[in-house]
Chain A
Amino acid sequence: QPPLPLVVTTWPFHSATQAAWKALAARGSALDAVETGCAQCETDQCDGSVGYGGSPDESGETTLDAMIMNGNTMEVGAVASLRRIKNAIGVARAVMEHTKHTFLVGESASLFAESMGFVCEDLTTNRSLSIYSKWLDQQCQPNFRKNVTPDPTKSCGPYKPVKSLSEGKKPTLQKQVDLHSHD
């Protein structure tokens, strides 16, 4: 067998791999295939870590990050902390094709997306709401806060900064591993 074409996807997200392969079979470019495959995962909400209705932040909101890169031209489009728009990879492609920028983030990225015709909709679902309310019931554990008061390992915020309790100690990047909270 010839080794090409080839689609490789993280995790067993087979529907995305299939969609990308179909895009290639329909004479789409490699870039088209990446966009189609990732968009399939956004629609499918692959394992809850892709797409709307997953990984709510401290205020219960789902926000999306995505990028797309053309290895021939080194063109890139990326969005981060995207609100109210489900098709993040589509917006990343729009950044590549309709701006001379590379990376748009946050509320303004959502406004750009709307101006490019992407549908504005609520990314919260019953599932993300239940994840959020369960977290609140567990005194907001786990969280990403440190050197704040009240003690972030025991309670929710709002938090205020405190002098670093570990001053003088050698800083370490090592932290608790949480398999259920990743990118």
Chain B
Amino acid sequence: TIGMIVVDGNGNVATGTSTNGASHKIPGRVGDSPMIGAGSYADSSVGGAAATGDGDTMMRFLPSYQAVENMRMGADPTMACQKAIARIQKHVPIFFGAIICANKTGSYGAACSKAPGFTQFHYSIYKPGLSQPLEEMVDCL
């Protein structure tokens, strides 16, 4: 899945996702990406979040909505993402998933859940001062 958060120069926030889902899914199966609050969530009074990973598991926890609410309660974007991932890990200790977060003032972060073969999450950002997209990375929880 591509998940994306855009905050424009005036602090207006929009998010979105697009995916072709899980391979070999049962026809009719829908993942987390199009689910509001699971695939992504935006509230310009706070910020936005978007998720990627095992949609069957992640959609049950609405991690993007949770991350925005974490930011609303004062968490910085990285902490907001980490808390959303930790919440899922309480129920599913090992799952494949990652989330990106940004607040309306332009701070951003990410978090991911460690799984066999997946210990770091790479993501892409663009902000003033850069002349091309920059790849950043976080170690998984």
Contact = CB atoms under 8 A, between A and B. Distances in A.
Contacts of A48: 20
A5 B124 contact: no
B30 interface: yes
Interface string B28-59: 11111111100111111101101111111110
Nearest to A34: B16
B88 to A, nearest CB: 9
Contacts, number: 318
A34 B93 CA distance: 32
A37 B58 CA distance: 23
A80 B30 contact: yes
Interface size class of B (residues with CB under 8 A): 35 or more
A29 B102 contact: no
Contact of A50 (B19, B26, B48, B56): B19
B139 interface: no
A168 interface: no
- 3 tightest Cβ-Cβ pairs between the two chains A and B: A3-B106, A71-B42, A71-B13
Interface of A: 1-14, 16-18, 20-21, 24, 29-31, 33-35, 37-39, 41-42, 46, 48-52, 54-59, 61-72, 74, 76, 78-81, 88-89, 92, 102-103, 105-106, 123, 131, 135, 140, 142-145, 173-175, 177-183
15 contacts: A3-B105, A4-B105, A6-B126, A7-B5, A9-B3, A10-B3, A18-B132, A31-B14, A34-B4, A38-B18, A67-B34, A69-B36, A174-B94, A177-B96, A183-B21
